[in-house]
A and B are shown apart, each in its own frame.
Chain A
């Protein structure tokens, strides 16, 4: 069965960096687009980054553009989110989610999420 497991969250000071990982199993990872979606405490959902199945295209929300980098290693079935220059408003649960297709459509499987807290 499809499984997505995030790791790497924690408490970090403003301005510092953090890298999230998402280990995928149960499907052909290299055939699907992947996303990072975050949810601030008590708030709604925000798609912050997307990467196509082969890594050839990447898109970012304006709120993280220039600070976050999404990338993938298809040989390791792993998705990453490098988060630099973190701000208090980046505090959220970060989910990795599989796209229903190879590029961008809907999110058909989600991980359990990893909490990132940006605080001094």
Chain B
């Protein structure tokens, strides 16, 4: 099973700042990695797939990069609605499909 480790667990930033979230895989997943955003009481929303492709309707301030074992989700300038929990997910080596444990992005 591929284990995804996200860091940091919590990130505290202010609106307008740049956020950088990390996801590390226990073995290579090539570019088969996605990022999701989840707000309290809501279902997750797909942001990025295949490491760097924005999903439909996702603003350009969200970008993904990386391949192999190290991946990054960047939010160029935080908006108030961006404060949420973010998960990475791999589909390279399944079953099982696995998620990271999440990074909480808090308002500073």
Contact = CB atoms under 8 A, between A and B. Distances in A.
Interface in B6-48: 32, 34, 36, 42-46
A62 B96 contact: yes
Interface in A64-120: 95, 97, 100, 104-108, 110-113
Interface residues of A, number: 22
Nearest to A113: B43
B55 interface: yes
Given A44-B87, A44-B102, A107 B96 contact: no
Interface in A30-54: 35, 44-47, 50
A67 to B, nearest CB: 16
Contacts, number: 58
A105 B34 CA distance: 9
A41 B57 CA distance: 29
Interface in B52-68: 55-56
A11 interface: no
Contact of B97 (A50, A100, A108): A50
A104 B44 contact: no
B89 A106 contact: yes
A61 B56 CA distance: 29
Contacts of B96: 47, 59, 61-62
Interface of B: 32, 34, 36, 42-46, 49, 55-56, 87, 89, 91, 94-102
12 contacts: A44-B87, A44-B101, A44-B102, A45-B44, A104-B97, A106-B91, A107-B89, A108-B56, A110-B43, A110-B44, A112-B42, A112-B43
